Amino acid sequence: MSSKYDVVIKNGFVVYPDKTVLADVGINGDSIAKLGPADSLSGTKVINAEGCYVLPGLIDPHTHPVYLDNLQDLSKTAAWGGVTTVIHYAYAKPGQSLLQIIKQWKEEAGKTSYIDFALHGGLFETIKQADELPDAFKEGVTSFKMFLSYAKLGWMTDDYALTKAMDIIGREGGMAALHAENGLAIDYIQDKLLAEKADITERFLETSPALAEAEAIFRSVYLGRLMKCPVYIPHISSREAMEVIEYLKSRKFPVIAETCPQYLSRTWDILKEFGPLGKVGPAIKTQDDQDALWDSVENKLIDTIGSDHAPKPKKIDDNFFDAPYGTPEIETMLANVWHSGVNSGKITPNDIARITSENSARIMGLFPKKGRLDEGSDADIVVFDPAKQWTISHTNQHTNASYSIFEGREILGKVDTVLSRGKVIIENDTFSGQAGDGKFHATKSGEWFKNNYKF
């Protein structure tokens, strides 16, 4: 008799970016001990995955645990969605110390998170906070978000401060992440519409134009090249932006492209139904933009999918202009992308493994512990049932938000079982995670670029 594993996931289709294998997964402790032929391994606990896909736990590179869901709540709703590692944006608002925020979040999430986590820094007052960047690296944080948008709010990083930050980040071996929309141009357009007393719900798209997104991507990636600093562009929303990304990648500029489920599964006309609930930044755009994003996933111009989970307190009859940007997304991310992408034949389960897990692990320097179901890797695993039919509603989600912009959407395919470092945390619609089980992971976001790009 061969050895017995702590847990065996039996007879599932184990998915990699490059192959799908009908196999048993044997787990001992935290990690994957053995991949064997179907029905070959025995375990103390056996999970029957027949007819299901066995995916690497999702790594969500884009989360905001500061609104209706805090660090603990977000990690729970994430787990329900098949996410086993979250990379939060630790935002240092103007006047705050980036280093203090990073230390506080590490401590709080270390005590309360159900799943593993890492942090990006977020700079709202870049010219001052950039001086803290070298210390942030010592804390295991190597990627840093700045805003080229939101000038009126006082959050915009201008080109002078951006160049300074990129100089330091490049030298330390990290990565800059930019909210890429031209903030001053957008402020002018907003002011003009407000002066005209225009219907902002109707004309919301004009306040988040694809051209302003494309321009900011182009500018920031060029400045990154100048300062030898890799650039990550979160939440890409338009065809115009993807054309710039295609050009930059053809020139071998170090840039990573992320989009989100809301841009892949919704178009801007949801605002008619959902009003301010559907307000996100950048705006969800047209069907043509959505088609371009799917093409980009298919042809590998999109590297990662992030949720941009940011459930804000708002109601459908709130004033549209004053309503905050953001939606709950993390729990429905995998199901939405699967349903819109795999069920329609646009992409394969292998693409899902690539864009929701392995690429993020590689780019953030968490590979090979995370991102792939190999022997020796952390046993972060999702068993996904492609035949399960269900309907998205805010009432069957675990976020504290009381709405979903996918309300009523019928989905084929559902997260069935989730393991976080070998421990079953979701099974039979029951959550059994422990607060504080999640571990902090230091990132090494620059290393992948060093191996893949010439600066």
- Which residues of this protein are in contact with Zn ion, per CB under 5 A? 308
Amino acid at 51: G
For Zn ion, give the closer residue by CB, 132 or 308: 308
Report how far residue 129's alpha carbon sits from residue 112's, in angstroms, rounded to the nearest whole number: 27
Closest to Zn ion by CB, 10 vs 309, is 309
Q: How far apart are CA 16 and CA 406, in angstroms?
A: 28
* Shortest Cβ 365–Zn ion spacing (Å): 21
Least distance (Å) from Zn ion to the CB of residue 49? Answer: 33
Q: How far is the CB of 62 from Zn ion (least distance, A)?
A: 6
Q: Which tokens sit at 127?
A: 């010219």
Q: Round to whole Å and give the CA distance between 170 and 177.
A: 12
Our CB check for Zn ion shows the closer of 311 and 433 to be 311
Q: Which is nearer to Zn ion, 62 or 421 (CB)?
A: 62
- Within 10 Å of residue 437's Cβ, how many Cβ atoms? 16
273/297 Cα distance (integer angstroms): 27
Choose between 149 and 357: whose C-beta lies nearer to Zn ion: 149
Packing angle of the helix pair 287-298, 239-250 (nearest 10 deg): 30
- In the complex with Zn ion, the residue whose CB is nearer, 399 or 420, is 399
Task: Tell me the helices (H) and strands (E) count for the chain, helix number first.
Answer: 15, 17
| Residue 57 per-residue DSSP state | P
| Smallest distance from Zn ion to CB 260, Å | 8
- Minimum distance of Zn ion from residue 240's CB (angstroms): 20
Shortest gap between Cβ of 294 and Zn ion (angstroms)? Answer: 21
With residue 88 as reference, give the H or E element that holds it.
strand 83-92
Inter-CA distances, 122 with 228, 285, 425, Å: 20, 26, 30
Shortest Cβ 325–Zn ion spacing (Å): 9
Taking CB atoms, the residue at the shortest distance from Zn ion is 308
Can you give 60-77 as a three-state secondary structure string?
EEEECCCCCCCHHHHHHH
Residue closer to Zn ion by CB (options 161, 280) is 280
